[in-house]
Homo-oligomer: A and B are copies of this chain.
Amino acid sequence: MLRYTIPATTANLGPGFDTLGLAINIYSEFQVTSAEKDVFYIHDWQDNLLSIDKSDNLLNKSLLEFADYYQLTLPSIEIREKLKVPLARGMGSSAAAILGGLTAGAIATGILPAKDDFVEMAVKLEGHPDNVLPALFGGLIINYSDQERIFYEKIEIDPELNFILVIPDFELKTSELREILPKNVDYSTVLFNMSRVALLVKSFLTKDWQLLENAMQDKLHQPFRSAKIPGFNKIIATAYAAGARGAALSGAGPTILAITDKNPEKIAGAMCATCLDYGIKAEYLIAKADNQGLYNQLEELLK
């Protein structure tokens, strides 16, 4: 039996819609064992067994993609997946399932995919690279592409920072959330986000946390998507009032991210209380960045 873990992620980081994503040290757990036939035990973050069959789940789709990519037949395996983040809340649960399935394929066959090949398979399955790349390589990942392929650049994140994730008890589907967005934006919106992206990269690289409040602002997706979350602006204001350095949607929401170097419990509690004022039950997680990612583990496992 081989075990591995996959970090959760917070993508669309601040102004970095589809561009910046970050891995956090909340790890979904996987076990892979050889078996007589394929069996997938998928437990959600509250330990409920979601599925034991292989129909239409991302683990299986990812295994099939692996087999297809390398043009081979996979031996039967048992996978146990224990999610540590909720589904469809903007914390990378899909990325975890996809990377978990691809890694199971690698373990079952003994093939260690080159990094670029792993990225190609994962992005094909996920559609967008800003969740899978940080989960794969850790840290903050800038993804960019030309007409042919995807590239990425990693920035390690200081362990001093806490990432607070306030998780409302309702789901938002990313696919529907894409349809809310306009097709085009004007130059002033572009300049707004570009300048904040520059600030955000400077903030993380120079550890200047005072920049984060401006650096985490966004006009590309948050104004449209946050309308689905009652009291959103008030929850963000509460985070700042309680001492947060930066705050924004996590992924496509509804999870709300706050960043702080101090008093994360106090900030998280205040945000959840404001959620309740608007009739939203919310839980919170407090994490640090994960600067390792999955790929390093896979190299160790297949050595």
List chain A positions with a Cβ less than 8 A from chain B: 15-20, 142-144, 151, 153, 155, 181, 183-187, 189-202, 205-206, 211, 214, 220
CA A151 – CA B196 in complex, angstroms? 11
Complexed CA–CA distance, A297 and B151 (Å): 43
| A18 and B197 contacting across the interface, CB-CB below 8 Å | no
> Which residues does chain B contribute within 8 Å of A153, judged by CB atoms?
198-199, 202, 211
Contacts of A183 in B (CB 8 A): 186-187
B199 touches A15 (CB 8 A): no
Measured CB to CB, the nearest residue on chain B to A200 is B198
Inter-chain contacts of A214 with B (CB < 8 A): 144, 151
Q: How many copies does the complex hold?
A: 2
Cβ of A205: which chain B residues have Cβ within 8 Å of it? Answer: 201-202, 205-206
* Smallest Cβ-Cβ distance to A142: which chain B residue: B198
CB distance from A27 to the nearest CB of B (A): 26
- Besides the known contacts A18-B191, A190-B193, A194-B194, 11 further A-B residue pairs in the complex with CB atoms under 8 A apart: A15-B194, A17-B187, A17-B190, A17-B191, A19-B194, A153-B198, A153-B199, A181-B187, A184-B185, A198-B201, A201-B201
User: A187 — which chain B residues lie within 8 A by C-beta?
Assistant: 17-18, 181, 183-185, 220
Q: How far is the CB of A299 from chain B (nearest CB, A)?
A: 23
Is B155 a contact of A195 with CB atoms below 8 Å? no
B residues near A192, Cβ cutoff 8 Å: 144
User: Can you list 23 contacts pairing A with B, beta carbon distance less than 8 Å?
Assistant: A15-B194, A17-B187, A17-B190, A18-B187, A18-B191, A20-B198, A142-B195, A142-B202, A144-B214, A151-B214, A153-B199, A153-B211, A183-B186, A183-B187, A184-B186, A185-B190, A190-B193, A193-B194, A194-B197, A197-B197, A198-B198, A198-B200, A201-B202
